[in-house]
Amino acid sequence: MKTKHFVFQIFRAAFTDRLVLIIVVLMIASLFAVLPIKSCSNPSASGGGSTAERSALVSVTG
């Protein structure tokens, strides 16, 4: 009876470890999936702020 309990504990620990690993990998992957979306929605953060300055200069001189 003890061996069944011991085998069950080993399987449960292996399953839990695998599940935690999958969750950590998905969390890291979600960061890399969200970063490009945030940089596209905020163009000034990726160096696109110069276009806004250029358009302001054109509107002042034009």
| pLDDT, tens digit (0-9, with 9 covering 90-100), for 34-55 | 877 766 776 665 555 555 544 4
Rounded to whole angstroms, the Cα distance separating 57 from 48 reads 15
pLDDT for residue 35: 75
Radius of gyration of the chain from Cα atoms?
Answer: 26
Which one is predicted more confidently, 41 or 25? Answer: 25
Mean pLDDT of 14-23: 95
Report phi then psi at 46, rounded to 5: -100, 20
Token pair 């250029």 in the structure block, residue = 54
What's the pTM value of the predicted model, to 2 decimals? 0.50
